[in-house]
């Protein structure tokens, strides 16, 4: 199996499959190791007829063994592991350089992810005006839209897609599929919440002011200045996806703590004066 291809970003480091060189505070370290393990099982099997469902099963088994939660927001939809195939795709194609050696995987069970990645590459190389999503994707449902968005989102999170491309892609979807404008707005909110939770997990956010500054800066970058996620949203992702200790979250997030008063009634105590 190929070693990690030479790429220069903070998430995936070149060299060996054990990824020993990935920073200790990288919240994706164990996830990348799990994805590499799944690729190892796929490529060492001598099979060329893997199905999408079989690969999803491998992913579920490896994540469960390592107690890794798929990338997600507040809820855990039933198709969450199918969406997590985007992570497997990016690590396999750009992290391990396997697309030429195993085209039947990328043109077969991972064809959906490959199709969206091709659109992103076209946007980068030819400009947004030369990309026509509705012509390429056709009419899609809301559920299909979320799966489509998952590909560039994952690419940004793992360091393989520029955030500017992701933002342009969101705006392009909004313009060509105006019926899903609210879904795009909600996805931007999710993205901001996720990246703030990620920054907290990496130890980059040390107080509430830094957290608010990052929220607002990201909102400006992706065109969502009036749509900031609540700290409760960030808290859920940080706790459930990144396993960040609650004592850390209480220092940087303005959340409400449920307690019982003397009468046994449940009350909410603000940890700060506001709930953004």
**Cα 208 to chain centroid, rounded:** 23
Which tokens is 119 given? 């659109």
For 198-231, write each residue's pLDDT tens digit. Answer: 999 999 999 999 999 999 999 999 999 888 999 9
Three-state DSSP class for residue 78:
coil
Quick check: 5 pLDDT over 70? no
Structural domain boundaries, residue 246: 188-276
Domain boundary among 150, 176, 202: 176
Computed over every residue of the chain, the mean pLDDT equals: 87
pLDDT at 266: 41
For 109-156, write each residue's pLDDT tens digit. Answer: 999 999 999 999 999 999 998 999 999 999 999 999 999 999 999 999
For the chain, how far is it from start to end, CA to CA, in angstroms? 48
* 122 shares a domain with 3: yes
pLDDT-based confidence at residue 11 (cuts at 50, 70, 90) = very low
pLDDT-based confidence at residue 269 (cuts at 50, 70, 90) = very low
* 41 shares a domain with 164: yes
Please indicate, yes or no, if residue 272 is contained in any of the structural domains: yes
Q: What's the structural domain count of the chain? A: 2
Quick check: 78 pLDDT over 50? yes
* 153 shares a domain with 260: no
Q: What are phi and psi of 28, to 5 degrees?
A: -105, 5
Domain boundary among 176, 209, 242: 176
Q: What are phi and psi of 260, to 5 degrees?
A: -110, 135
* 107 shares a domain with 14: yes
For 18-46, write each residue's pLDDT tens digit. Answer: 455 567 778 999 999 999 999 999 999 98
Strands (E), the chain: 256-260, 266-270
């Amino acid at each position: 199996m190929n070693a990690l291809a030479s790429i220069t970003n903070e998430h995936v480091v070149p060299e060996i499959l054990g990824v020993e060189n990935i920073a200790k505070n990288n919240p994706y370290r164990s996830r990348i190791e799990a994805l590499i393990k799944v690729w190892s099982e796929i490529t060492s099997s001598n099979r060329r007829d893997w199905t999408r469902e079989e690969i999803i099963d491998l992913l579920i088994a490896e994540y469960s063994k390592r107690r890794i939660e798929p990338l997600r927001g507040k809820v855990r939809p039933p198709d969450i592991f199918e969406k997590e195939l985007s992570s497997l795709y990016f690590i396999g194609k750009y992290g391990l350089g396997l697309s030429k050696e195993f085209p039947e995987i990328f043109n077969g069970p991972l064809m959906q992810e490959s199709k969206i990645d091709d659109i992103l590459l076209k946007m980068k190389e030819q400009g947004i005006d030369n990309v026509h999503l509705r012509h390429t994707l056709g009419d899609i449902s809301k559920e299909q839209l979320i799966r489509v968005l998952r590909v560039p989102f994952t690419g940004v999170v793992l360091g393989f897609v520029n955030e500017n491309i992701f933002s342009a892609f969101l705006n392009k979807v909004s313009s060509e599929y105006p019926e899903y404008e609210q879904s795009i707005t909600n996805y931007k909110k999710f993205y901001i919440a996720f990246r703030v939770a990620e920054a907290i997990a990496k130890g980059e956010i040390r107080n509430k002011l830094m957290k608010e500054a990052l929220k607002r800066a990201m909102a400006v970058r992706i065109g969502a200045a009036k749509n900031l996620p609540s700290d409760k949203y960030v808290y859920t992702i940080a706790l459930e996806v990144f396993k960040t200790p609650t004592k850390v979250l209480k220092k940087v997030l303005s959340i409400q703590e449920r307690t019982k008063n003397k009468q046994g009634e449940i009350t909410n105590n603000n940890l700060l004066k506001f709930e953004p």
